[in-house]
């Protein structure tokens, strides 16, 4: 998790752990589980509101194994 806001440099980042899916929201990390989906650690800057999302370290392997993610970022 970042210690300082990447946007404004503020040091007051508030952190929470959230699920990557919800019953009414999108599946943000598809293919990472049926009963226990991968989770995010979310950091929000208290000055400008910039938000950082990080997959929990214990869930990174789920993302690597998911068939929904490709090996590289393709913008074309």
Q: How many helices (H) does the chain have, and how many strands (E)?
A: 1, 3
**pLDDT by residue (tens digit) across 48-76?**
999 999 999 999 999 888 888 877 766 55
Provide the number of structural domains found in the chain: 1
Query: In which domain, by residue range, is 19 found?
Result: 1-76
**pLDDT by residue (tens digit) across 26-48?**
778 888 877 778 888 999 999 99
Kindly report the number of other CB atoms within 10 A of residue 66's CB atom: 14
């Amino acid at each position: 998790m970042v210690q300082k806001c990447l946007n404004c440099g503020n040091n007051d980042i508030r952190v929470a752990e959230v699920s990557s899916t919800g019953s009414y929201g999108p599946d943000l990390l598809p293919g990472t589980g049926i009963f226990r989906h991968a989770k995010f650690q979310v950091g929000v800057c208290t000055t400008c509101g910039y938000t950082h999302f990080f997959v929990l370290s214990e869930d990174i392997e789920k993302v690597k194994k998911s068939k929904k993610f490709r090996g590289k970022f393709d913008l074309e």
